[in-house]
Every structure is written in structure tokens, then in C-alpha cells.
């Protein structure tokens, strides 16, 4: 317990050391720590934000997917409808065409029949005249009897 000038030496050393710490050590480390704390806080906030963004994006993606499916289904429906329509109209066209062809053929046949009948009528009238000539055993003036013949032809 002897006090001596060591007191002054130690006091002086302490003043210098505390001053040095205050000036050149503490502020640097304190600043580094504080800045890093801010950085970490920012990083955590950013992570939270991106998590939210991700959730939002996922929701949006699901929404888009659903819409696309709906649209596809709609298109498919439309296509089916259109297909039915095309098939129907094709059927109608074909039927109409067939009817037209049938009608044409019918008309031709009728014309042919008519013509054949005229031919037949003429031949029959010639035959009738010839027959009548034979029956009368004489030459009949065909022109004189033409009116009769025409009547006959019209009756046939």
C-alpha cells in the first residue's frame, strides 16, 4: 500500500489510451456495426417484399392460366359449332344440287317421251293413212283428207 508516482504514470497512460480509443477505435467499429445493422434490416425487408411479390405473381399466373383455359374451351365450342354449321350447309347444298340434277333429268326424260310420242303419232298417222288406202283400195288425196287425218292424229 505504498503510494508513489506510479499513480501519475498510470493516470497519464489511461488518459492517452481512453483518448485513442475514443478517437480512433470506437467510432469506426460503432459505425461499422450500425451500418451493418441497417443493411441487415434492409435485406430482411427486401426479402419480405420479394416474398409478397412472389405470392402476387403466383396468384397472377394462376389467374392467367385459368383465363387461358376458359378461352380455349370457348374456342373449342365455337369450332364445334362452326363445324356443325359447315356440315349442315354442305348437306343442304348437296341436296339442292341433287334435286336440280334430278329435275333436269326428269325434264329431259319428259321431253324425250314427248318427242317419241310425236314421232309415234306421226308414224301412226302415216300408218293409218296407209291402212286406210289399203282398205279403200284407192288413192285418196292425202291433202283432201288431211283435216281428217289431223283430227285422227290429235285423238291419238
Partner 1 sequence: MAETSTGYIKHHLQNLQVCSTENGWAFNTADNPLLCKGEFWAFNVDTLGFSIGLGLIFLWIFRRAAKKATTGVPGKFQCFIELIIDFVDSNVKDTFHGKNKLIAPLGLTIFVWVYLMNLMDLIPVDWIPGLAHAMGIPYLKIVPSTDVNITFAMSLSVFVLIIFYSIKVKGIGGFTKELTMNPFNHWAAIPLNLVLEGAALLAKPISLSLRLFGNMYAGELIFILIALMGWFQLPLHFGWALLHLLVIFLQAFIFMMLTVVYLSLAHEDH
Binding positions for partner 1, rule: CB under 8 A: 1-11, 13-15, 17-18, 20-22, 24-26, 28-33, 35-36, 39
Cβ neighbours of residue 122 closer than 8 Å, sequence gap 6 or more = 153
Residue 45 CB, shortest distance to partner 1, in Å, is 17
Q: Which is nearer to partner 1, 29 or 62 (CB)?
A: 29
Residue 10 CB, shortest distance to partner 1, in Å, is 3
DSSP 1: -
CA distance 156 to 143: 19
CA distance 78 to 73: 9
Q: Which is nearer to partner 1, 5 or 144 (CB)?
A: 5
Residue 21 CB, shortest distance to partner 1, in Å, is 4
Q: Grid coordinates 288431211 are at which residue? A: 146
Helix/strand/coil for 19: helix
Q: Which is nearer to partner 1, 23 or 83 (CB)?
A: 23
Residue 47 CB, shortest distance to partner 1, in Å, is 16
Q: Which is nearer to partner 1, 3 or 138 (CB)?
A: 3
C-alpha atoms less than 13 angstroms from C-alpha of 124 in its C-beta half-sphere: 13
Amino acid at each position: 500500500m505504498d503510494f508513489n508516482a506510479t499513480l501519475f504514470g498510470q493516470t497519464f497512460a489511461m488518459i492517452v489510451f481512453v483518448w485513442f480509443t475514443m478517437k480512433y477505435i470506437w467510432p469506426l467499429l460503432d459505425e461499422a456495426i450500425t451500418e451493418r445493422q441497417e443493411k441487415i434490416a434492409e435485406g430482411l425487408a427486401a426479402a419480405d417484399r420479394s416474398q409478397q411479390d412472389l405470392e402476387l405473381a403466383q396468384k397472377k399466373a394462376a389467374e392467367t392460366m385459368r383465363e387461358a383455359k376458359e378461352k380455349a374451351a370457348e374456342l373449342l365450342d365455337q369450332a364445334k359449332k362452326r363445324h356443325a354449321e359447315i356440315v349442315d350447309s354442305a348437306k343442304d347444298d348437296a341436296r339442292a344440287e341433287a334435286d336440280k340434277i334430278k329435275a333436269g333429268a326428269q325434264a329431259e326424260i319428259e321431253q324425250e317421251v314427248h318427242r317419241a310420242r310425236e314421232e309415234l303419232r306421226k308414224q301412226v298417222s302415216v300408218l293409218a293413212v296407209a291402212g286406210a288406202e289399203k282398205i279403200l283400195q284407192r288413192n285418196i288425196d292425202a291433202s283432201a283428207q288431211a283435216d281428217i287425218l289431223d283430227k285422227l292424229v290429235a285423238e291419238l
